[in-house]
Structure 1
Amino acid sequence: MKSFVFITPEEHFTEVVREACVERQVKAHPQVEAYLVQVLKQYLFSKNFHNPFESDSLEKPPETFAEMYLVAMNSERPKNKELMRTVAEKSLYLTGFFADSLHRKIVDIDYYTEIGSAAYFNLATWTKEDSLSIIFSTFSKRFNEFVDVLNYVSEKSQVQSDSDVLKLYDRYLRTGSELAREKLNELGVVTLPKEQLKVSKA
């Protein structure tokens, strides 16, 4: 009987991020790598990426990244930092993980790169905690380098569009689908044992 070694998403992303930094020749402090792993974990489920951009001052959430950036800039503290971090991390994840899709859009990848870099610059300026401020500053100055790192992670998983591993993993966690599990394993994504899943019948 074939046996599998199951690891957590954090362990998986830690390994892949380190490999990506080596392959892309990107020198990064361990804290920077750890932060990147947390971003990957956050958006492992597509629903987290597509959550509404919430602001108490708005009746309707902004629809574009430029609008989100302006809302964050004009928000009161500490809400402004929370919103700006959302802009920064979504820009980073989108440009790194789905770069191929962006090349086919009217708005190109440079649009998201500029917004993401500017968002990280603001975060570095607004953050009092030195270690976190340094991380944000690093991503502001070297945004494109870490886009390359995430692009490697995407290629490693054979992922280049919104319709792939995120939805597949989400479906496996909700339903325990054996077909979804096999496909995820083929893509290099290590899944949790069924016994650990809280399978929904919905």
Structure 2
Amino acid sequence: MPSVSQTTFENTLADFFRERLQTEADNVTPRPREDTLWYLGNLLARFGDSDQVFSYDRGELGMRPLALLYRDALEEGNPHHRCLILRQLGDLALFMGALFPESYTRRGISRDYFVGMGGGAYDYLGENARHNRRLFSELSRRFVRLLELVAAVCDRDRVFDNSDVLQLFRRWRETGDPKLAAQLRALGVVLPDSGSMH
């Protein structure tokens, strides 16, 4: 069960990503649906916790390959469990394809691999999930464009403007979250000690 500070961090991070997605989505035609942007913000916040990306398998920490997740889904007899596995597959394909394309290209894995695996997983969910079928259908249909949107939002070379820094500072002031403080310090912001904030 996540701690209160972990939950606060994920909520704050989700808000941050949702705001960035809202801004970047203005450059996408047609604009993604609001529930899709909300889902993507939550996905990015969830994967901000490495425990959601990596797991232990046979005593080693690693990420389960997408092809093995696909096999797990094919072998799963319970339709609900199959959907859960395929959601994880689609989410990981979108996340990894958007944030680490160079790493996979060096290993001979093209973007088409992520598009095929993620788009196919979301397509199945669009027809078979208990909830959010319309959302998963959009994720499938527009996978390439949404992958590009996530990549733009998470661009590591992106320069933060003053309003970005101010938003982070306000959130840090409200929550006192040490992870936000570290992010602000990395951006060159000198923070007052916590005792002077009250």
The residue correspondences of 1:152-191 to structure 2 (distance < 5 A) are 152-155=152-155, 157-158=156-157, 181-183=184-186, 185=187
> Is 1:44 matched up with 2:48?
yes
The residue correspondences of 1:13-28 to structure 2 (distance < 5 A) are 13-25=17-29, 27-28=31-32
> Is 1:91 matched up with 2:90?
no
Which range is displaced more, 88-97 or 174-183? Answer: 174-183
Contact 2:55 2:64 in 1 (8 A): no
The residue number in structure 2 matching 1:142 is 142
SS in 2 for 1:103: helix
Aligned-pair CA distance for 1:133: 0.2
Contact 2:55 2:63 in 1 (8 A): no
Deviations 1:64-88 (A, max 9, x none): 2112112112202221111111001
Contact 1:24 1:148 in 2 (8 A): no
Larger helix fraction of residues: 2
The residue number in structure 2 matching 1:166 is none
Identity level (%): 17
Q: Which runs of 5+ in 2 are unaligned?
A: 1-10, 159-175
The residue number in structure 1 matching 2:110 is 108
SS in 1 for 2:55: coil
> What is the rounded CA distance, in whole Å, between the counterparts of 1:174 and 1:146 in structure 2?
30
> What is the rounded CA distance, in whole Å, between the counterparts of 1:136 and 1:176 in structure 2?
31
> What is the rounded CA distance, in whole Å, between the counterparts of 1:117 and 1:40 in structure 2?
17
Deviations 1:30-67 (A, max 9, x none): 111111111111101223111358xxxxxxx9942112
SS in 1 for 2:106: coil
Q: Which runs of 5+ in 1 are unaligned?
A: 1-6, 54-60, 160-172, 196-202
> What is the rounded CA distance, in whole Å, between the counterparts of 1:86 and 1:51 in structure 2?
13
SS in 1 for 2:151: helix
Q: 1:180 to 1:20 in 2, by over 3 A?
A: closer
Aligned-pair CA distance for 1:104: 2.0
Question: Whose RCO is larger (CA < 8 A, sep 6+)?
Answer: 1
Paired residue for 2:37, among 30, 33, 36?
33
TM-score, structure 1 normalization: 0.68
Q: 1:22 to 1:105 in 2, by over 3 A?
A: farther
The residue number in structure 1 matching 2:14 is 10
Aligned-pair CA distance for 1:140: 0.7
Q: CA RMSD for the aligned pairs?
A: 3.3
Aligned-pair CA distance for 1:128: 3.4
> What is the rounded CA distance, in whole Å, between the counterparts of 1:146 and 1:177 in structure 2?
26
Aligned-pair CA distance for 1:108: 1.6
Give the total of aligned pairs: 161
Q: 1:71 to 1:133 in 2, by over 3 A?
A: same
Question: What is the letter of the counterpart of residue 137 of structure 1?
Answer: S
